[in-house]
Structure 1
Amino acid sequence: MMKKPKIKISLIDQKGHMGCHRGHQIGDTFDFDTERGNLCPMAMHVAFPYIDILRYGGKLPSQPDGSIVFCCPDVDVINVFKIEVVEEKD
């Protein structure tokens, strides 16, 4: 059985005119396995399909480094997140 890769979610930008209702700020990072409960549920709802694809070996048209960028669905906030597969060292 293949081990699932670690996933890191980072807040990289904000496009909306209001602050995040959950208090997230640019630079915040979350380990999907241990900290996903700390991420806004609306953002997690958008992130999960991308995470699922990356965790099971799928690829999407994405950033040159293989990461995925997505926005939270709150039009007043529009936090921009980046999802990356973290390569574990042996």
Structure 2
Amino acid sequence: MKRPKIRITIVDKIGKGGCHRGHCVGESFDYDTERGKLCPMAMHVAFPYIDILRYGGTIPGQPAGTAVFCCPDVDVINVFKAEIVSE
């Protein structure tokens, strides 16, 4: 069974500071080919959600195939959305 493609998009920013990695709302990344461009702190948070989505799980309170999570940097708090991409 082939693992589904995952796209990670910055959908909001809550913190008052600017992103230390230079990320902006609206940026999207392909998990398989561009994850190295994503902030390591955000990837640390993203990984468990990616695993859940890739292996058929769901996140309570979120639509199937999606996971919304925040950057752990209290000064920035970028909001990310990971989603399965239908090919």
Q: TM-score range by the shorter chain?
A: over 0.9
**Alpha carbons 1:62, 1:68 under 8 Å: kept:** no
Counterpart Cα distance in 1 of 2:65 and 2:52: 12
Counterpart Cα distance in 2 of 1:54 and 1:16: 27
For residues 60-89 of structure 1, give each alpha carbon's deviation from its aligned partner in whole angstroms, at most 9, with x where no partner exists. 21433531100000000000000000011x
Counterpart secondary structure, 2:7: strand
Percent identity among equivalent residues? Answer: 72
Structure 1 position 56, deviation (Å)? 1.1
RMSD of equivalent CA atoms: 1.0
1:73 corresponding residue in structure 2: 72
Counterpart Cα distance in 1 of 2:13 and 2:45: 16
Q: Larger Cα Rg: Structure 1 or Structure 2? A: 1
Counterpart secondary structure, 1:76: coil
Counterpart Cα distance in 2 of 1:23 and 1:49: 23
Gaps of 5+ in 1: none
TM-score, structure 1 normalization: 0.92
Give the count of matched residue pairs.
87
Gaps of 5+ in 2: none
In the TM superposition, 1:35-74 aligns within 5 A as 35-64=34-63, 66-74=65-73
Counterpart Cα distance in 1 of 2:33 and 2:65: 22
Moved over 2 A (4+): 62-66
